């Protein structure tokens, strides 16, 4: 349960509270069987002060104004982690026949402009693929930047971090992914957290079927290429033998399932589902199977064998061919082998969008550098967001770059990127940090001074503290920590403490932009307690 003072909201007017149940956090909200294997209906009565709007993930709600009491009822069985509550200075607007958006008053116009008419389009596309939307309403509430993840698929009421509003393509993908969860995850749920891919892999597959229907195959392939790049980046960091890269992860006693949330859950799970769809020959045949799967198992929880048995029974010709035992692509190997996906999708339909990215990256990383050719070969202002972030991610992977290259990159793109969304800007700033490019460091400071969300602060602080710029990071942190949620503040302190003793409490009113960085570092060195590893921090609770 996250309690926010008014200063941690956009409006700075009223306190705010929200819950985040995934994976096993709702046991601190109400007594429950906190496992996805158990589903039930629920009702709730919530009393709130006047002027505070309360919402829950429920199909029915009433408000008794004289008593200040809200009553909620979820008529369909859901697992405990999908019970959610939010309360604060929230107002709404209808954006479709069965959808409305809730946000703080200062954010509502932006939310309306981004989503009006769009959600119904996505819901209709999903229904054409996977059958009726069973939850009645599909509303969205935008939460303050303290929300610890990007989005959460609470039934009837998707939670989304407000920070994503400025990044249109990421907003589209994130909402469509949560729409897909209405079928995969919410209606049919993984019975154990060891098989989280049954929700996330299927939802990612469904999300991409929906985007293909609404935005075309090229856009879907571009977004998939971006995510698979990220998967392989995570693979390099973890190693191919890491057990968390299995689809069926062994959950050891005492391990929080949230710690198992990674790109393998999503993208390796997606690749397996995509492989199953290819076995059918036509994705529309696989859509028919998924409709039957949802109809058979809705409002229940399943294990992987339920999905795979249903698949083989639905396609008896594939069962006769023993596709589950095909050498090198055995279903059991998909589930239990470590490492990358056994097969990846053909993304050639996205070449019109991905080839310019690959060509530009080659121009900037081929020696000797022809900066004139590289600078004139592409206009990033005309690219899609996913093209630009794919390009910047590949530059990040190649960092540190030669000084002449980073200098020319800055001359060509830095001012252009300043006016782009935060998903693009943070990647350029990570490149700046990883290359110790001091002329653009002031932009890192400016970015962190204006960001309060985990997704746009943690990556930069981690990069700053990995290199030679820890004192610079300390300086920014002491100037901005009061605008951060205590949980995020603690996480950043632990990043800053890596290799040092823990940070002491410092009177931030005494720290100005003129405070020498070395003075701050001296204060750190005076602390005496042992440092806590960042891995010990549960970022979801």
Distance CA 350, CA 400 (A): 29
Indicate if 177 and 195 belong to the same structural domain: no
* Final residue before a domain boundary, out of 151, 182, 213: 182
* Residue 324 labeled ligand binder: no
CATH number at residue 245: 1.10.390.10
Indicate if 204 and 294 belong to the same structural domain: yes
Length reported for the chain: 541
Identify which of 264, 219, 170, 201 has the alpha carbon closest to the alpha carbon of residue 453: 170
Whether 512 is covered by a domain: the verdict is no
Beta bridge partners of 158: 140
Q: Judge whether residue 352 has pLDDT over 50.
A: yes
Give me the helices (H) in 239-298, please: 263, 269-279, 283-297
Distance CA 482, CA 301 (A): 43
CATH number at residue 474: 1.25.40.320
- Cβ density class 91-124: b for 16+ within 10 Å, e for less: ebeebbebbbbbbbeebbeebbebbeebbbebbe
User: Can you give the residue range of the structural domain that contains 285?
Assistant: 189-252+259-336
Whether 534 is covered by a domain: the verdict is no
- With a CB cutoff of 8 Å and minimum separation 6, the contacts of 510 are none
Residue 205, Cα to own-chain centre: how many angstroms? 16
**pLDDT average, residue stretch 407-420:** 96
Whether 507 is covered by a domain: the verdict is no
Indicate if 80 and 112 belong to the same structural domain: yes
Distance CA 515, CA 437 (A): 22
* Residue 232 labeled ligand binder: no
Whether 538 is covered by a domain: the verdict is no
Whether 502 is covered by a domain: the verdict is no
Q: Which of 178, 194, 223, 344 is catalytic?
A: 178
Question: Which of the four pLDDT bands, split at 50, 70 and 90, describes residue 540?
Answer: very low
Say what the pLDDT of residue 501 is.
46
Q: Which of 42, 70, 81, 266 is catalytic?
A: 266
Report the chain's mean pLDDT, rounded to a whole number. 91
Question: For 61-89, what is each residue's pLDDT tens digit?
Answer: 999 999 999 999 999 999 999 999 999 99
Indicate if 216 and 356 belong to the same structural domain: no
Indicate if 274 and 411 belong to the same structural domain: no
Whether 390 is covered by a domain: the verdict is yes
* Look-up of token digits 């960091």: 237
Indicate if 270 and 394 belong to the same structural domain: no
Whether 531 is covered by a domain: the verdict is no
Say what the pLDDT of residue 290 is.
98
- Three-state DSSP string of 292-360: HHHHHHCCEEECHHHHHHHHHHHCHHHHHCCHHHCCCCCHHHHHHCCCCCCCCCCCHHHHHHHHHHHHH
* Final residue before a domain boundary, out of 459, 475, 497: 497
| Burial (CB count within 10 angstroms: exposed 0-12, middle 13-18, buried 19+), residue 166 | middle
* Residue 403 labeled ligand binder: no
Indicate if 201 and 327 belong to the same structural domain: yes
* Final residue before a domain boundary, out of 182, 207, 222: 182
Distance CA 422, CA 445 (A): 14
Indicate if 161 and 195 belong to the same structural domain: no
Task: Lay out the sheet containing 2-4: strands in order across.
Answer: 2-4, 16-18, 85-88, 53-56
Say what the pLDDT of residue 511 is.
34
Distance CA 270, CA 206 (A): 9
Q: Judge whether residue 271 has pLDDT over 70.
A: yes
Whether 525 is covered by a domain: the verdict is no
Say what the pLDDT of residue 244 is.
92
Q: Judge whether residue 208 has pLDDT over 90.
A: yes
Question: Which of the four pLDDT bands, split at 50, 70 and 90, describes residue 499?
Answer: low
> How many domains does the chain divide into?
3
* Look-up of token digits 């006047």: 50
Say what the pLDDT of residue 258 is.
86
Question: For 304-313, what is each residue's pLDDT tens digit?
Answer: 999 999 999 9
161, 148 Cβ separation under 8 angstroms = no
Indicate if 174 and 235 belong to the same structural domain: no
Question: For 117-163, what is each residue's pLDDT tens digit?
Answer: 999 999 999 999 999 999 999 999 999 999 999 999 999 999 999 99
Indicate if 166 and 25 belong to the same structural domain: yes
Give me the helices (H) in 32-107, please: none
Indicate if 177 and 230 belong to the same structural domain: no
Indicate if 197 and 140 belong to the same structural domain: no
Q: Establish whether 178 is a catalytic residue.
A: yes
Say what the pLDDT of residue 541 is.
26
CATH number at residue 143: 3.30.2010.30
Question: Which of the four pLDDT bands, split at 50, 70 and 90, describes residue 500?
Answer: low
């Amino acid at each position: 349960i996250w309690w926010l003072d008014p200063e941690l909201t956009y409006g700075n007017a009223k306190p705010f509270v929200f819950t985040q149940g995934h994976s096993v956090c709702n046991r601190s909200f109400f007594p429950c069987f906190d496992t996805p294997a158990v589903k039930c209906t629920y009702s709730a009565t919530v009393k709130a002060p006047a002027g505070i709007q309360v919402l829950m993930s429920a199909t029915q709600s009433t408000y008794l104004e004289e008593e200040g009491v809200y009553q909620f009822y979820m008529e369909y069985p859901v697992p405990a982690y999908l019970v959610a509550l939010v309360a604060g200075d929230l107002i709404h607007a209808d954006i479709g026949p069965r959808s409305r958006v809730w946000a703080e008053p200062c954010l509502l116009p932006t939310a309306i402009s981004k989503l009006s008419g769009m959600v119904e389009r996505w819901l209709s596309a999903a229904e054409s693929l996977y059958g009726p939307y069973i939850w009645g309403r599909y509303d969205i509430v935008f939460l303050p930047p303290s929300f610890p993840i990007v989005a959460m698929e609470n039934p009837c009421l998707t939670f989304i971090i407000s920070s994503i509003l400025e990044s249109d393509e990421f907003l589209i993908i994130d909402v469509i992914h949560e729409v897909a969860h209405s079928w995969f995850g919410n209606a049919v749920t993984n019975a154990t957290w060891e098989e989280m891919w049954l929700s996330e892999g299927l939802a990612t597959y469904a999300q991409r079927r929906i985007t293909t229907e609404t935005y075309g195959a090229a856009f879907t392939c571009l977004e998939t290429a971006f995510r698979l790049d990220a998967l392989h980046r995570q693979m390099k960091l973890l190693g191919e033998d890491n057990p968390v890269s299995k689809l069926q992860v062994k959950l050891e006693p005492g391990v929080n399932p949230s710690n198992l949330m990674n790109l393998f859950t999503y993208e390796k799970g997606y690749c397996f589902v995509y492989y199953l769809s290819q076995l059918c020959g036509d994705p529309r045949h696989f859509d028919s199977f998924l409709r039957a799967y949802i109809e058979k198992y809705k409002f229940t929880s399943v294990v992987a064998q339920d999905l795979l048995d249903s698949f083989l029974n639905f396609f008896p010709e594939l069962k006769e061919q023993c596709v589950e035992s095909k050498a090198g692509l055995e279903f059991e190997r998909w589930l239990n082998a470590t490492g990358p996906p056994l097969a990846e999708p053909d993304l050639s339909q996205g070449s019109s969008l991905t080839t310019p990215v690959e060509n530009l990256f080659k121009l900037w990383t081929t020696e000797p550098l022809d900066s004139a050719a590289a600078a004139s070969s592409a206009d990033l202002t005309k690219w899609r967001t996913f093209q630009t972030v794919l390009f910047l991610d590949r530059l990040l992977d190649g960092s540190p770059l030669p000084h002449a290259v980073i200098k020319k990159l800055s001359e060509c793109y830095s001012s252009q990127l300043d006016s782009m969304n935060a998903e693009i800007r943070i990647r350029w700033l990570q490149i700046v940090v990883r290359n110790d490019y001091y002329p653009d460091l002031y932009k890192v400071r400016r970015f962190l001074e204006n960001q309060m969300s985990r997704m746009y602060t943690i990556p930069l602080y981690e990069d700053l503290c990995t290199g030679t710029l820890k004192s610079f990071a300390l300086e920014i942190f002491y100037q901005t920590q009061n605008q951060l949620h205590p949980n995020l503040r603690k996480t950043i302190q632990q990043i800053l403490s890596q290799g040092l003793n823990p940070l002491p409490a410092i009177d931030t009113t005494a720290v100005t932009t003129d405070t020498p960085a070395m003075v701050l570092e001296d204060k750190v060195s005076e602390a005496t307690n042992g440092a806590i590893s960042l891995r010990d921090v549960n970022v979801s609770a």
